[in-house]
């Protein structure tokens, strides 16, 4: 009867509030484990977190450093063959076997660049006979590379089907043939097997 209107409204609001049914009800007398911080303490805590946050310049600098260290790890992995830090296109046992298969044999395609330089020099000489020889060499080299790539791809596909029956082999043959076009010492990841050594 003598209660204030504000207290009555608070009591009514409390009655209207939905009751939450949790699976593990907490005893109302049990402490929550920590004291409720005062407003001044909470505000000072928020300010300290805001002050310690990095500026845009510092964040960009940290990103650059992380990117640089990741690239350095990747470069070392390409030289050593460490699977953990290799790029996604080089990872996995299927890609590793494809690399080893190519690195363990001689490929005509890997000599394409030196032969192309020789043929280009011959074609620039103003002698009709040498220019004809250069043209013939172009044709021979291209035919040999196509035949060698076809045989290599067929053999590799067969080996992959035998060794990795349940795994995803998509793109492995094309990956290997692209590797065969590079000179052995310029290949990345570096060759891990010697010529003639079975992968």
Q: Report the pLDDT averaged over residues 68-87.
A: 84
Share of the chain above pLDDT 70, in %: 79
pTM of the entire predicted model = 0.66
Whether the per-residue pLDDT at 46 is higher than 90: the answer is no
Ranking 14-18, 32-36, 50-54, 128-132 by mean pLDDT, the lowest is: 14-18
On whether the CB atoms of residues 134 and 119 are closer than 8 A, the answer is: yes
167 Cβ contact list (under 8 Å, min separation 6): 93, 94
**pLDDT score at 8:** 53
Checking if the pLDDT of 104 tops 50, the result is yes
What pLDDT score does 59 carry?
A: 85
Average per-residue pLDDT in the chain? Answer: 82
Q: What is the pLDDT of residues 113-155, one digit of tens each?
A: 999 999 999 888 888 898 899 999 999 999 999 999 999 999 9
Instruction: Report whether pLDDT(65) > 70.
Output: yes
Task: Identify the pLDDT of residue 109.
Answer: 92
Distances (CA, A) of 138 to 112, 128, 154: 10, 15, 24
- C-beta separation of 176 from 110 below 8 A: no
CB atoms within 10 A of CB 59: 11
In the 8-state DSSP scheme, what is residue 185?
G
Tell whether the model's pLDDT for residue 63 goes beyond 60.
yes
Q: Reduce the secondary structure of 103-132 to three states and give it as a string.
A: HCCCCHHHHHHHHHHHHHHHHHCCCHHHHH
98 CB neighbour count, 10 Å cutoff: 25
Q: Quickly tell me which residue has 């029956």 as its tokens.
A: 165
Distance CA 85, CA 117 (A): 36
Instruction: Give residue-wise pLDDT tens across range 4-16.
Output: 555 555 455 444 4
């Amino acid at each position: 009867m003598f209660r204030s209107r504000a207290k009555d409204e608070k009591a009514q609001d409390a009655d209207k509030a939905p009751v939450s049914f949790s699976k593990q009800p907490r005893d109302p007398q049990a402490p929550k484990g920590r004291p409720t911080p005062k407003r001044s303490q909470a505000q000072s805590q928020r300010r300290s977190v805001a002050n310690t946050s990095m500026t845009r310049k510092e964040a960009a600098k940290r990103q650059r450093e992380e990117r640089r260290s990741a690239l350095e790890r990747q470069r070392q992995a390409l030289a050593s063959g460490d699977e953990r830090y290799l790029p996604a296109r080089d990872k996995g046992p299927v890609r590793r076997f494809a690399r080893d298969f190519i690195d363990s044999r001689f490929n005509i395609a890997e000599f394409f660049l030196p032969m192309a330089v020789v043929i280009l020099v011959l074609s620039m000489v103003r002698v009709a006979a040498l220019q004809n020889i250069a043209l013939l060499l172009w044709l021979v080299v291209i035919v040999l590379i196509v035949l060698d790539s076809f045989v290599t791809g067929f053999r590799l596909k067969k080996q992959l089907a035998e060794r990795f029956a349940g795994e995803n082999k998509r793109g492995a043959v094309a990956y290997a043939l692209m590797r065969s076009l590079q000179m052995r010492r310029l290949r990345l990841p570096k060759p891990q097997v010697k010529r003639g050594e079975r992968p």
